[in-house]
Structure 1
Amino acid sequence: MSVLVVGLSHRSAPVAVLERTAVTGDGLAKLLNEVHDHAHVGEAAIVSTCNRVEVYAVVDKFHGGVSGISELLSLHSGIPLDDLSRYLYVHYEDRAIQHAFSVACGLDSMVVGEGQILGQIRQAFRLAQEHGTLGRELHDVLQQALRVGKRAHHETGIDKAGASLVSVGLDVAAAHLGPLDGVRALVMGAGSMSGLAVATLSRAGAREIVVANRTFERAERLAGSVPTPARAVELAEADAELAAADLVVSCIGANGLMISADRLVAQGVGSDGRRRFFLDLALPHDVDPAVRRLPGVALAGLDDLRTAQEAAEAIGPEAIEAVRRIVCDEVAVFLGAARAAAVAPTVVALRSKAADVVEAELARLTGRLPDLDDRARKEITHTVRRVVDKLLHAPTVRVKELALAPGGDTYADALRELFDLDPKAPEAVAVADMRSAATSVGEVLPGGPGGSSPQRGADLSSPPGGADGGPGESRGAEL
């Protein structure tokens, strides 16, 4: 079984496609379970943000896993598979691990270095855990990805260099409205992106912040979390607030537009001579693009923010390079440990067989020499066991060392052949190992194996290295 990633993001697909593939709530749980139920999938987790949908899976066949997951993404998005495939990327084995670690560090985010993606990986972990689709391999991959992300942020400060998408959006708003101190702001939604928007606006000196949400209690909690004068309203009662606001930040991501041009015109927006700015951080979009045609009104969505970020990239190249080195080092350590762990059951099975042979021979000796005194018997037993241990020491140590390199699992296969080990013996050891570790899945909050990966645009008809066969609201994280 090998780790596979199939997905699309702002790097591979336009916002219009990401909008159609966005999956949240019950739809996300449904897709997760369908992926897990696929014949070639043993484990599954889905990282879903405004900028990416990525399926992480443990599969027994490369082709079967890629085709099955791609078809499910096509069905859930309503985009024909031939069209969707142009935007999908695939990472397999070693490259899947490298991709997971890079994503957790923020290297693959729209705003390089942003730290919110760590929260979304945690959400993906928890959802997979709740639905029973998380096994030992993905547990370890996702948990380690979070640890690597935290290490990168702590050691390089890349999360401080990389502003959040909210900050980038508010910088664009300030370019239209002027300094944000003294503005009246309306934040629609009460998820984590909305929370970040409220906190950022408060620090910027907003005169008043209104939080509108379907669940009034959540809006009230968010409004009460900042020192700036803030209040909560029901989402259905937001029309008057739309008219009063200078700045509107929408993070709902519902099916269908939340703010139409007609709705604004009915509230006098565009006819009162005021300048207004709408920041649409949702996917699917909340704000009708037609609002741009209203006098004095400007709108920025995800496409605009991508352009703004690329034009004003402020991440130091040294920090990015330092994070890349961390990812490279961590991938090597993780894969080495995984390969060593994969060989361990064979080593245990070999030593177990040797111990059985020793005990059988000592029992036969007892039958042939019943009058042997205890002292001699103990000395013979000790000598035989020591001889066997010495004979096995070099090959077992060496096979563990060789296992750290790519293809090292072939040495375990050689041991099984040379010593005629029962093929089920190592498997039994591995299963026992997994059962003993399974309890940690429920106890350790999250923060694999080897090969290479076809990238976006690669020919997915043949596996790398011949490996086949043989959000209600904008989820508030990476965005």
Structure 2
Amino acid sequence: MSVLVVGLSHRSAPVPLLERTAATGDDLVKLLNDVAGSPYVAEVMIVSTCNRVEVYAAVEKFHGGVSAITEMLSRHSGVPLDELARHLYVHYEDRAVQHMFAVACGLDSMVVGESQILGQLRAAFKLAQQEEAVGRELHEVVQRSLRVGKRAHAETGIDRAGASLVSVGLEVATRHLGPLDGTRALVVGAGSMSALAVATLSRAGVREIVVANRTHDRAVRLAGQYERTRAIELSGLDAALADADLVISCTGAPGLVVHADRLAPADRPRFFLDLALPHDIDPRVRELPGAALAGLEELRTAEEAARAIGPEATEAVRRIVAEEVADFLNAARAAAVAPTVVALRSKAAQVVEAELNRLGGRLPELDDRARAEVAQTVRRVVDKLLHAPTVRVKELASAPGGDAYATALRELFDLDPQAPEAVARADIEGTDP
């Protein structure tokens, strides 16, 4: 079983195409289950965010897995296969592990070093667990990637520049509005990105923050954590928009939430920040006097935060990723040979027992003490003979191509081909992911 990644992101596709392929809510669950139902896919997890749609899968065969996943993405998004394929990237085995670790560290994010991706990976894995779409293979690589991401943020300055889409978006807003202290802000939505927006605005000292959300209780809980912040029903959105100097929206709604033709005229500068995919805010807002709008496409050019991080921190994270990938792959290769070693020792134990029984039949006069001494001696000899080759094969297996040594061991000792697979299967069934 090998890990496969098929996806597209802000690096490979324009935002309009990302909007068409992004899946949320029930659509995401259906896509997940349809991919999981493919005969070519054993496990699957889907990360669908504002700047990436990636399918992580455990597959037996590369080409079958790629074809099945690509066709599912095309069918669910309505994007023709030939158009979609031009923007897809594919990573397999070692490269797939490296990609997931880099994503978890924020190296592949629109704003390098942003930490929101860790929460998005956790959410994707939790959904896959709920749908019983993941098992041991993805469990191990996802959990390791989360640890790698935490390590990168703890040991380097990768997030020192306030690296999140919210932070960069507010830098752009400041150019249009001036200092944010004294402004009135409206945050539409109450999810993780909206919570980050409220926290960032609160630190910036805005005069008032209003939170609007379809589920009013969530808006109340979010607003209750900060001073100068209150919650409103979504039905009061038009009035709140009329009073706001700064509007940030990230709801995950399937259509527009803020409509240009419902905005009251204003004689002051207003800034709209759309962090949703698909878009929440009507693009025609740009045509209103004094209004400016920034969406994900505009934030692509906001490289100040990435540059502020400095190349030293980025290189330090790359070194961490390389180190962690090597360690993970070495451990995985060593673990892969373990069933063969167990099968070899099991066969040796069977041979020893058979020979001891035969000896007992030929020498019935042996007393229990002598019989026990002979049995212990034989077992000790076998253990010593097997010790060096089994230890060595584990060491050799940790290197690229090391699985060939396990194959050689099976051939040399004429092991039942099904024996190692049975050991591995029993190990997997006894593990709670």
> 1:57 is paired with a residue of what secondary structure?
strand
Structure 2: unaligned runs, 5 residues or longer: none
- 8 Å CA contact retained: 2:112, 2:306: no
- 8 Å CA contact retained: 1:162, 1:314: no
| Partner Cα distance (1:294, 1:369) in 2 | 103
Give CA deviations for 1:300-332 in whole Å, capped at 9, x if unaligned.
Answer: 001111112368731211111111111001011
| Partner Cα distance (2:235, 2:89) in 1 | 40
Residue 306 of structure 1 pairs with residue 300 of structure 2? yes
> 2:364 is paired with a residue of what secondary structure?
coil
TM-score when normalising by structure 1: 0.89
Structure 1 residue 389: deviation in Å?
1.1
- 8 Å CA contact retained: 1:161, 1:316: no
Q: 2:320 aligns with which of 321, 326, 330?
A: 326
Q: 1:367 aligns with which of 355, 361, 364?
A: 361
Please list, as runs of the form range in 1=range in 2, the aligned pairs for 1:464-479 lying within 5 A after superposition. none
Give CA deviations for 1:128-153 in whole Å, capped at 9, x if unaligned.
Answer: 11111111010000000000001111
- 8 Å CA contact retained: 2:161, 2:306: no
- 8 Å CA contact retained: 1:349, 1:425: yes
> 2:103 is paired with a residue of what secondary structure?
helix
How many residues are matched?
433
Deviates more, 1:247-256 or 1:181-190: 247-256
Show the counterpart of 2:348: 354
- 8 Å CA contact retained: 2:163, 2:305: no
Residue 87 of structure 1 pairs with residue 90 of structure 2? no
Give CA deviations for 1:171-192 in whole Å, capped at 9, x if unaligned.
Answer: 1111100000000111111111
Show the counterpart of 1:42: 42
Deviates more, 1:386-395 or 1:341-350: 386-395
> 2:67 is paired with a residue of what secondary structure?
helix
| Partner Cα distance (1:187, 1:418) in 2 | 68
Residue 234 of structure 1 pairs with residue 233 of structure 2? yes
Deviates more, 1:412-421 or 1:48-57: 412-421
Structure 1 residue 291: deviation in Å?
1.1
Structure 1 residue 162: deviation in Å?
4.8
- 8 Å CA contact retained: 1:111, 1:162: no
> 2:302 is paired with a residue of what secondary structure?
helix
Give CA deviations for 1:81-126 in whole Å, capped at 9, x if unaligned.
Answer: 0000011000000000000100000000011011111001111111
| Partner Cα distance (2:75, 2:243) in 1 | 42
Show the counterpart of 2:196: 196
Show the counterpart of 2:421: 427
TM-score when normalising by structure 2: 0.98
| Partner Cα distance (1:308, 1:380) in 2 | 77
Show the counterpart of 1:27: 27
Structure 1 residue 411: deviation in Å?
1.1
Alpha carbons of 1:370 and 1:311: their partners in 2 closer, same or farther (altered >3 Å)? closer
| Partner Cα distance (1:255, 1:55) in 2 | 21
Bigger relative CO (Cα 8 Å, ≥ 6 apart): 1
Show the counterpart of 1:446: none
Residue 406 of structure 1 pairs with residue 400 of structure 2? yes
Show the counterpart of 1:444: none
- 8 Å CA contact retained: 2:5, 2:56: yes
Residue 379 of structure 1 pairs with residue 373 of structure 2? yes
> 1:79 is paired with a residue of what secondary structure?
coil
Structure 1 residue 260: deviation in Å?
2.0
- 8 Å CA contact retained: 2:159, 2:309: no
Structure 1 residue 422: deviation in Å?
1.2
Residue 250 of structure 1 pairs with residue 244 of structure 2? no
Show the counterpart of 2:57: 57
| Partner Cα distance (1:204, 1:83) in 2 | 43
Show the counterpart of 1:97: 97
4+ residue runs over 6 A deviation: none
Structure 1: unaligned runs, 5 residues or longer: 442-479
> 2:308 is paired with a residue of what secondary structure?
coil
- 8 Å CA contact retained: 1:280, 1:299: yes
- 8 Å CA contact retained: 2:333, 2:398: yes
| Partner Cα distance (1:309, 1:72) in 2 | 34
Give CA deviations for 1:165-224 in whole Å, capped at 9, x if unaligned.
Answer: 101101111110000000011111111111111111111111111111111111111111
Deviates more, 1:250-259 or 1:146-155: 250-259
> 1:159 is paired with a residue of what secondary structure?
coil
Alignment-mate amino acid for residue 211 of structure 1: V
> 1:143 is paired with a residue of what secondary structure?
helix
Alpha carbons of 1:91 and 1:101: their partners in 2 closer, same or farther (altered >3 Å)? same
Give CA deviations for 1:48-82 in whole Å, capped at 9, x if unaligned.
Answer: 11110110000111000001000001111110000
Show the counterpart of 1:281: 275
- 8 Å CA contact retained: 2:337, 2:394: yes
- 8 Å CA contact retained: 1:100, 1:145: yes
